[in-house]
Structure 1
Amino acid sequence: MTPKKETKSTKIVQAVVVVAAVLLIIAGICNGSALDVLIKGINICTECVGLG
């Protein structure tokens, strides 16, 4: 089984996806979504442990 060679177009697509992901993460942090996700994560963890 030989590994596939990455072509130039594959690298471009990967770069575009990474840039889009970073931009969307920054947009989520700026509009306050990160705090919502943190609060929901804390709530789920405390419910699993039996504290909530």
Structure 2
Amino acid sequence: MKKKSQVRKSPFILITLFLFMWLIGVSLGEPTRVLEQAWSICLACIGIG
């Protein structure tokens, strides 16, 4: 007899969780905040800001 191939649930749960968290971050404007901080750090590194 052949065994049924079992589908693991944990990868689907984790992907769903991460997508949910990503949507929350985007809706709160986190990408803009990260880019602003990166901009200021880069300017500080080269001695302009």
Q: CA-atom RMSD, angstroms?
A: 1.8
Structure 1 residue corresponding to 2:13, chosen from 13, 16, 19: 16
Percent identity over paired residues: 20
**Number of equivalenced pairs:** 44
- Report the structure, 1 or 2, having the larger helix content: 1
Partner of 1:46: 43
- The aligned runs of 1:1-40 (5 Å cut-off) are 8-9=7-8, 12-40=9-37
Query: How does the TM-score come out when normalised to structure 2?
Result: 0.62
Unaligned runs of 5+ in 1: 1-6
- Runs (4 or more) in structure 1 with deviation over 2 Å come to none
Query: How does the TM-score come out when normalised to structure 1?
Result: 0.60
What's the offset of the Cα at 1:50? 2.0
What's the offset of the Cα at 1:28? 0.9
